[in-house]
Amino acid sequence: MRKVLIAALVSLSLAGCATPQWLQTVEKVVSAVTLGGATVSNPVTRSRLNQMENAMIVVVAGLQTWRDSCEQHVIPATCFDQIAQVQVYTRKIPPYLEQLRAFVKNNNQVNAMVVWNEVLKIIATVKAGAAAGGVAISVDPGVI
């Protein structure tokens, strides 16, 4: 049986030539995270969830750097609106995480898969929302 994973590659790039080189590097790779789509043959196990959460930590570390640079006025002021738009969706993630952890803990795979795939949808929505705000975020579903 072919193992199907959805590769969600999220890359951020900011407009504006005033962005420092180091931040551009962060923006390019910070949100590159591969998230496996949950299926019956590819369930959300405790170990898998932990790996995904660690991947998200790397992503959020980069997002925080973007935010810090914005608040310190290191990058163009348009970043405030861009980040605010991204926050609309990142704020939806914690309740889902809470549900997901509970479902995985109880091995409720049916609901765990539903919630995890919902998180993938949020990431796609982040892409659309950020793009509307001038931040290019590409979420490329793929098959591994």
Partner 1 sequence: MDPMTIIALVAKGLAVVTALAEAGKNVVPAVTAIKNLVKSTENGTVTDAEVDATDAQLDAMLTKFDLPLVR
**Among the listed residues 65, 54, 88, the one whose alpha carbon sits nearest the alpha carbon of residue 12:** 65
Q: How far apart are CA 120 and CA 34, in angstroms?
A: 11
> Which of 12, 75, 83, 135 is close enough to bind partner 1 by CB under 8 A?
83
Identify the residue among 55, 120, 124, 131 touching partner 1 (CB under 8 A).
55
109 binds partner 1, rule: CB under 8 A: no
In whole angstroms, how close is the CB of 90 to partner 1 at the nearest point?
Answer: 6
Torsion sign over Cα 66, 70, 72, 73:
positive
CB atoms within 10 A of CB 115: 21
**CA separation for the pair 97, 106 (Å, rounded):** 14
Residue 54 within binding range of partner 1, rule CB under 8 A: yes
> How far, in Å, CA of 144 to CA of 37, rounded?
11
> Is 62 near partner 1 (CB under 8 A)?
yes
State the binding string over 7-46 for partner 1 (x if CB under 8 A, else -).
Answer: -------------x-xx-xx--xx-xxx-x---------x
Q: Looking at the DSSP assignment, which residues form a beta bridge with residue 13?
A: 136
Regarding 80 and contact with partner 1 (CB under 8 A), the answer is yes
Catalog residues that contact partner 1 under the rule CB under 8 A: 3, 5, 20, 22-23, 25-26, 29-30, 32-34, 36, 46-48, 50-58, 60-65, 67-68, 70-71, 80, 83-84, 87, 90-91, 93-94, 97, 101, 144
